[in-house]
Every structure is written in C-alpha cells, then in structure tokens.
A and B are shown apart, each in its own frame.
Chain A
Amino acid sequence: MTDKIVIKAEGLTKQFGDFVATDHVSFEVREGEIFGFLGANGAGKTTAMRMLCGLSQPSDGKASVAGYDVAREHEQVKRHIGYMSQKFSLYDDLTVEENLKLFGGIYGMTPAKVKEKMADLLQELGFASERRTMVKSLPLGWKQKLAFSLAIFHDPKIVFLDEPTGGVDPVTRRQFWELIYRASDRGITVFVTTHYMDEAEYCDRVSIMVDGKIEALDTPANLKQMFGVSTMYDVFYTLARKAKRGDG
C-alpha cells in the first residue's frame, strides 16, 4: 500500500426524490489498499458504488477515482477501473479464451497484449486446459475466479467487487481472497462489499454504512477495540441494528 490517494469522496450524495440514498459520504482510499465497504441491505452501498464507477451522477458533493472526477470525467473513470459482481461477470456462451479476447478488445488492448496477458492468466489460475471450454460448463468457483481475473485483465488502478463471494464454497471463497491479496500486492486497489464478516477481517480498512451515512471507518483491529468487542460481526451488529431503513 502507498500513501497515494486513488479514491476520494467528499460529501458524496445521491437523492431520489426526497429519499437520500447516500448521504454526504466522505472517505479516502489509498493505492493498493483492500477497502471493505460494509453496510446493511439498503444502507446505500450500491448507490455509492455506482457513483464511484461513473454510472450514476451525484446529486451533491464530489468524488474522484483514479484521478478523474466521477461526474465530469465518467468515461475516463470507466477506463481505469475494473468491476465484478456476483450477478454479472462473464458471457456463458463464449469460451474462456473468447471471453478474455472480448474484454481485452473492449478495454482497447492490442491483440498482442491480450495474447501475452492471457497466457499469464491461464497459467496463474491453472486454467490452461480449459481455454476452449464454454464458460457455462465451468464450476461456479472457477467462474468467480475467472471473473475476477477478467475484471483486472486490463491492469486497472482500482477494482470494484460487489459481493464477489456470495454462494461460493468455503475453500473457493478463501482462494478468491488469495487472488485479491495478489492483486493488492501488484498495487491494484480493491474496493469490496461482502456479507461475510470473516472477510471484513481480511481488509486493510473497513467502512460501515448505516442509513446512507458512514458510521465507522478504520482498521478491523481498531474498530473491534473501539467497540470493545472481539469480532467484526459484533462491530457490524452493534452499528447496523440501529438502522431505521431496510433496502429498497
């Protein structure tokens, strides 16, 4: 992790009618940091994440991601980030190799670069024998690992992961986090949401959102000390049970 700030949100707000989904949220994320973005359902995490990815315009406040303003330079933001969610990640009817070529092309990588990166990636994942396999016939755990590798295929500054490990078996879930560590060691900043509280422990810092606001932000160790509890589950529970609103 370096001291360079790659995400900076200042009073970031999104309002739908009279409902304030994300309410004047401010925080900074450093280069190479694994930043856990936690909150109850409906706390405003997805809305905040959509703004940071340049997919939704803030109603108030501002944010910069990889040095670009999310409101004015959203197309630049999109070029410098990767995104993966549990719901969407890969094209089922394309092979592993075709998916990689497609994404490489969309991100503007040259065919030579795609070829070189593809060989590395297949090697690292141990997927070389599966390069011509249709994605739909891969086991779920493999798909998730491939989806993550694709999200960082173009060497983005930052990767956004929205509940990447939901429904995955316990061993694969841990292997997935080892891929996250490796990406972070390479200097990629990881911004991740999860409902698994043990995964909160794997983050360098964690923020917890309640009713649109960030109620706590620190390292897991400091948060546990601050709340006088022994697990991140207890920290989360103490904060989130006060929430007034459910998800929308």
Chain B
Amino acid sequence: MSIISVRNISKAYNKGKTVALQDVSFNVEPGEIFGIIGPDGSGKTSLFRILTTLILADSGSAVVDGYDVVKDYKCIRQHIGYMPGRFSLYQDMTVEENLSFFATVFNTSIEENYHLIEDIYRQIEPFKKRKAGKLSGGMKQKLALSCALIHAPHVLFLDEPTTGVDPVSRKEFWEMLQKLKRNFHLSIVVSTPYMDEATQCDCIALIQNGRFLTIDSPQGIIDDYTETLWAVRSDRMHKLLTDLRDIKGIKSAFAFGEEHHVTVDASVITMEALTQVLQEEGHQDIHVEKVKPSIEDCFMNLQKG
C-alpha cells in the first residue's frame, strides 16, 4: 500500500485569485525517494504544507501513513519529519539543546533514536555547545535534518533542502538521504529546483504553475521524450544560438553548458544540411551530434505544452 496517496488536491490564495495547486494527484510508495521538481512559485511549498497538515487544501484529499490529513492531523504529526525551506531551528539554543528540544516535544530522547541520526549528527557533535545561529550553512542543514529525524518518523518531508547550496555540499546531502533510505527504509518526499538532482530520486513529479507536468521514474520520463535532440557546437557560441533559431526545421535552441541543444524536425533538416548552413553563416569547428535528453530537456519540452 502507498505511504502517501494524494487525490485531486487544489489550493488557491487571495480569495481564489492566486492559484497554488490545481488538481494534483500522486502516490508515494514505502521506502521511496519521491522528488518534486520545479521552479520557485510552482506550488511545491503549498503541497508540503498540506501534506504536513499545516494548511488545508480547498478541495481533494490526502492520506499520509494511513491517516487523513484533515481528520487525523494529530496522528500524522507524530509520524512525519518536516524540514521547511527556511532554517527552522532555534538560533539562540545550542546544537544539543535544539536536538533535545525536538526529541522532548515528541516524547522521546536523543539516546532512544540515536542510531537514526548517528551518521549525520556525529559530524556536528564536536560543536554541540555552539548556538545554532552560529553554525555554518552546511552544519545547520545537518542539525535540521537530525531534528527532523529524532522521533523516528515514517515519512520525511524536505522542502528544498539544497537550494542555494554549492554542488559539493549538495552531493553530500543526497548521500545522506540515500543512506537513510537504504538503512532505515525511510520514505522521503523532497523538493528541489535543481533538475540534475532528479536522478537521485526513485520517482519524480515535474511541477509548473501548480500542475504536475508528469510523474514517473527519471528513466521513464527520459524514455517518453519524443523530440529529436541534437547538440551543436561551433567557434562562435553566442552567434550560433541566434543563427540556429532562424534555420528552418529547428524547433527550439537553448544553451546547455558548452553546447546548444536543439530540437529538430528531422523530416525537414539533416545533420549534414545543418552543418552546411552553419558553415555558410561563417561558423567553424562545427560539431553536431544526436544526444540523449536530460531531465532538464524533458522539463523544457513539457513546459511549453
């Protein structure tokens, strides 16, 4: 049975004028990392707040760990851990005081569930007498995760835990989540604006303007990509982008790191023809090759629809 089941959730603010979520439905299976991926303002936080029983949906229903988010909100709160996007700890309390406070609120103790947080907490334990407000960003994140775990929740909700975090620390954070999943079979719902983190999840939902564009495994989403996608390079990358957009048969052209990715109508233009047109435009060192889409390519393709 699914550990989370969401049916037709909608939510609007401002007397219905600002739509946050529109008819969102999905399931999360036990022991799964479920990623909700989309830009700021797409409705991610509203969804988290509904599932963690902090706000009510306008319509639809949701069941978390067997409990209804409206009727059984008190039960849900005992069985979930929630790490909001903004730093949620008491800045004036020490590391140890914060952790012990969260443990006490849930009628447990640090000792009782230490095994759950050991890997993560050990890294900040040398600073346990330091005030939370004086910790570095990476350490704050580890403390917040420890506090969200200390009552041995069944489901962990992490709202944008890696936003504004550098790539090295992001990688470390995902390694911690993978371990929690592996060692404790924890179900984790996590949101992120970084498309490259999608492959860390078992299942992902791409969200835009309060709607899910698709829900599937990362590989499933990539397999569903129907466009013909080429990577193009030349000696003049800025000019290349504008030139590409003017060529017949090129449906879209966007920068992708050291290449430009173009979607093409293969019945109109071939790679050889494209190379020739670009040569005529004065480009040199032209490389054109067919590439597999990334999740970001998929998102961009679904986004325009």
| A and B found bound together | yes
User: Which A residues are closer than 8 A to B by beta carbons?
Assistant: 39-42, 139-141, 163, 166-172, 174, 177-178, 181, 185, 195-198, 201-202, 220-221, 231-233, 236-237, 240-241, 243, 245-248
B199 within 8 Å of A (CB atoms): no
Contact A167/B168 with A140-B40, A246-B138, A247-B137 known, Cβ cut-off 8 Å: no
Contact A195/B166 with A166-B193, A167-B40, A171-B300 known, Cβ cut-off 8 Å: yes
Some 16 contacts from A to B, beta carbons below 8 A apart, are A40-B166, A40-B169, A41-B138, A166-B163, A169-B208, A170-B299, A170-B303, A171-B303, A178-B255, A195-B164, A220-B258, A236-B167, A236-B168, A240-B166, A247-B138, A248-B137
Report how far A202 CA is from B163 CA in the complex, Å. Answer: 21
B184 within 8 Å of A (CB atoms): no
How distant is A210 from chain B, measured CB to nearest CB, in Å? Answer: 10
Give the bracket for the number of chain B residues in contact with chain A: 20 to 34
Interface bits B136-178 vs A (CB < 8 Å: 1, else 0): 1111000000000000000000000001111111010000000
> Across the interface, do A201 and B258 meet the contact criterion of CB distance under 8 Å?
yes
How distant is B197 from chain A, measured CB to nearest CB, in Å? Answer: 12
Report how far A102 CA is from B138 CA in the complex, Å. Answer: 38
> Across the interface, do A248 and B169 meet the contact criterion of CB distance under 8 Å?
no
A177: chain B residues at CB < 8 Å are 255
B136: chain A residues at CB < 8 Å are 41-42, 245-248
> Across the interface, do B167 and A167 meet the contact criterion of CB distance under 8 Å?
no
Residue in B39, B167, B296 whose CB lies within 8 Å of A197: B167
> Across the interface, do B193 and A42 meet the contact criterion of CB distance under 8 Å?
no
A-B contact sample (8 more), CB < 8 A, given A177-B255, A240-B168, A247-B137? A42-B136, A42-B137, A163-B164, A167-B163, A170-B300, A197-B167, A198-B256, A236-B166
Residue in B169, B194, B238 whose CB lies within 8 Å of A41: B169
How distant is B262 from chain A, measured CB to nearest CB, in Å? Answer: 13
> Across the interface, do A140 and B163 meet the contact criterion of CB distance under 8 Å?
no
Find the residue from B38, B166, B254 having the highest chain A CB count within 10 A.
B166
